[in-house]
Structure 1
């Protein structure tokens, strides 16, 4: 966490260029082109119902995608994946890189009230308030005393965020952070209109008419489990750039159904299932997307059988990831480490180039480990294991892993597919034996993955604890020596793979179908994926 602002922006520029080369951005037009269609209405499929649109409580990619289009923070990721001023018009950074003074532009909420510095101070402190029980509160920890307040060791007044006046926000950090401006584009850093939150109480963010907006679009209608309709905002400060008048997000959990809607011209954009990928591969409407997301198995270490390190590693070594990606056909790559290859270190290296690979496919080694683990446990037979899984196309991966574990280890694995929200609730409650989970980068740094598994971390669903791991992650925070910080992360990931509370399986890819008249949809590899601010329709018959 170091360097000058110019270095931060340089690194972020390099990140964006590399990630764009990996398919991180989807566009259909060059800058300067103007939509000519009178009817600026976009129809898309959306994979699931967002659990909540309260930015203090949101913790999933689907909620983040919606929030990114109806809300706006101090900064937002632009077309090149770089943070650009949004609610902030400018920022002054102290010489020691620990104090950020943001000047806010004139902007209004959808209820007509001005967006002020107080809205940011209120939102961040609400998220950090221990009574809020916000799962993503830790992402605010770069702010001075944020962690102390969140853990009950300091007061709200001690937190380093202060509205100096209506248009000036001062933020003090615990230590220099090279990615802090990117963080201010993340959903947890969004402002909240206090009067609206107080008016709607616990229902805030659960209905279209029980929240307010300050982004490019407002939510006009929310039919739960069916659709969400966005309308161009009449109060957004940059509304002249927004061309779409209406966006209809049709909640379609089954990708085959979504493809049928697409081929029937009922939607303009749909995610493509792996089973149909080859049929559309040569189409100009076929758009692959590679972000920065890892799909992995999480082992509940409180389970008697899975409490053993050798048993966990045996399961991982029994899975042929190379064969799995050939079956998935969605652009995914085999994962032999937790941090994906699109993530850079603070000294501008691809993390996977300096980190070692972990679990490889070896049935013989898997069998040896399982035998050794069972001897250590005193087990004479293997129990039936339940694998919690997605109920979408990723269930195909779960079926593959079930077969691999039966064929290579003679394990009886039962798949338990659940809708996204139910699955997430089970994971948060620790109500699983093994779960097939996923994590996408919130910002471009190894820390966004590795700090998940610190002891008592809110997403440490494995309930795994390592004092050495905690110390390595803690050392990396505020470390201004780039090489040392990178080495901390390399050692931490190696320890994570050696003790195997998780087993990385895939670096996830996606494939979309998008009509050629749809222009300038941007998909970001880190943070919220979907940006519709610049999208428009040009040439629809």
Structure 2
């Protein structure tokens, strides 16, 4: 089974969690690179790529996702489910924080309710909305006391759902469902800003050092719960934006893995690298996209958006530029999340249809191509490949539609800020599933108010389809979700470009075996209401 390596924890566990009898001294320290600074170390406030991967190292929730896509109970020891699938009761292990104080159900309850506080800054609040009254509480319409999250005692957490949620266990594996130490958070509200005694966590690593723009050091947490897995004693992250510098450091043995989810491999270096190193690929639920701000004319018109999408030649990008691409994206959901089903919802490079749609839309809006003069496509230069992709797309639009779109590279933080504030027309970015289910992508576009719905798009029929899927199982649910995907792509609030593989090279000195078989934590069924490790 392919490994889902889309967060740093999974990278670390794939390569560095090994059986105790095979642990070698040379694996005690791991050197990695990061291309950008994490925006926050607080798992309640995360939302960007780099922060989420840090959270997966320093914090741990009720269940944990492993690289073979299986789940195991983590901070939870067991759980029960009611007959109607609306009440989940989790029983916590006797685990402690990095300061050796007990992790409690109250930490979970208050951490989650913090996220649902209307005044609390969180980009992932919508992930909690399957929980009873969570949505209303975040909108400030009801008290947080009415939310279906309750610590019955220090070791028992009860979750009451609004409706059955088939993917709940998958959902709970995402790092935003990790707790923070509430006592410490209230006494030291700036605890997540730097390393030190106030940075208290419950994951396999603790934050030893955080020197902004330079280095992050994670060391093994001596108080982490007992587990059969073993990890490296120290991970040193060098924050280096330039990929050529990263490659040079890798070839000198100063970096242990290159091309992982934190870095990239320079495209022009691939031919030579293939002669010297083993380049590996793994499927990931990641897609590169161009988001439209559907509030800004002329992209408020779906025909305009479709014209820009259909006119692109994705196959040219995949064949000639993007080494990491696994396939063109003429769909919304990465095949990785649909058992490798790769249904196409529109035709790639359909220039004739694109021209028709553009002419119809301009006539309906009473505009000319001059309306696009002020439009800029923003992007973060993730690698040398990115600039080539942007220039190629710019030329494809000019050739197919006769429209010149300006392109501009911005710093990662500025890109995120523009997306969240809506200060853009078009922006090249990516999405990666936060849990292993199509809903991880679909749900973020359910309401325009959701923090990660950068497009500001909303559709009543789309909402109804997603709501219906909660009460369905198996193939019936799958078909409903595909109907929602099809509707989304008819409206085209963003342009899917291509799905990505995880491409990496590992320093052969590590010589570490990959994961073997893992126990699957199954979704509860009616004849089995309790689950234990």
Q: Is the 8 A contact 2:327 2:499 kept in 1?
A: yes
User: Could you say which residue in structure 2 is the equivalent of 1:96?
Assistant: 84
Matched, 1:280 2:270: no
CA distance in 2, matches of 1:118, 1:206: 23
Partner of 1:332: 326
Structure 1 residues 492 and 38: alpha-carbon distance in aligned structure 2, compared to 1, 3 A threshold = closer
The residue correspondences of 1:428-439 to structure 2 (distance < 5 A) are 428-439=420-431
Shift in CA distance, 191/270, structure 1 to aligned 2, threshold 3 Å: same
Q: Contact 1:331–1:511 at 8 Å: present in 2 too?
A: no
Residues of 1 paired with 2:166 and 2:398: CA distance?
Answer: 46
In structure 2, how many angstroms separate the alpha carbons of the residues matched to 1:266 and 1:38? 13
Pair 1:395-2:387 in alignment: yes
**1:92 partner SS:** strand
SS at match of 1:342: helix
Q: 1:29 to 1:39 in 2, by over 3 A?
A: closer
What TM-score does the superposition give when structure 1 sets the normalisation length? Answer: 0.86
- Counterparts of 1:356-505 in structure 2 under 5 Å? 356-382=344-370, 383-384=372-373, 385-393=375-383, 394-456=386-448, 457-476=450-469, 478-505=470-497
Does the 8 A contact of 2:5 with 2:282 survive in 1?
Answer: no
Matched-pair contact (CA < 8 Å) for 1:295–1:504: yes
Query: What corresponds to 1:4 in structure 2?
Result: none
- Structure 2 residue aligned with 1:307: 300
Query: In structure 2, what is the Cα distance between the partners aligned to 1:28 and 1:64?
Result: 19
Q: CA deviation at 1:418?
A: 1.4
State the aligned residue count.
497
The CA distance in 1 between the partners of 2:18 and 2:202, in whole Å, is: 27
Runs (5+) with no aligned partner, structure 2: 260-264, 516-533
Q: Distance in 2 between matches of 1:294 and 1:113?
A: 41
Q: Secondary structure at the match of 1:132?
A: coil
Alignment CA distance shift 1:435-1:190 (3 Å): same
1:292 to 280, 285, 292: 285
Name the CA distance, whole Å, in 2 between partners of 1:20 and 1:193: 29
**Aligned residue for 1:205?**
192
Pair 1:241–1:360, CA change in 2 (3 A):
closer
For the structure 1 residues 395 and 200, does the alpha-carbon distance in structure 2 shift closer, same or farther, using more than 3 Å as the test? farther
C-alpha distance in 1, partners of 2:354/2:149? 51
Cα separation, 1, equivalents of 2:514 and 2:428: 29
What is residue 135 of structure 1 aligned with on the other side?
123
Q: CA deviation at 1:21?
A: 12
Q: Is the 8 A contact 1:70 1:213 kept in 2?
A: yes
Post-superposition offset of 1:274: 2.6
Cα distance in 2 between the residues matched to 1:495 and 1:339: 13
- The Cα of 1:96 is off from its aligned counterpart by 2.6
Which of 222, 226, 234 is the matching residue for 1:246? 234
Kindly provide the CA deviation profile for residues 85-136 of structure 1, in whole angstroms up to 9, marking residues without a partner as x: 1111122222332222222112111122211111101111111111113220
Q: Secondary structure at the match of 1:436?
A: strand
Residues 351 and 240 (structure 1 numbering): CA distance in 2 closer, same or farther, change over 3 Å?
A: closer
Q: 1:57: which partner in 2?
A: 45
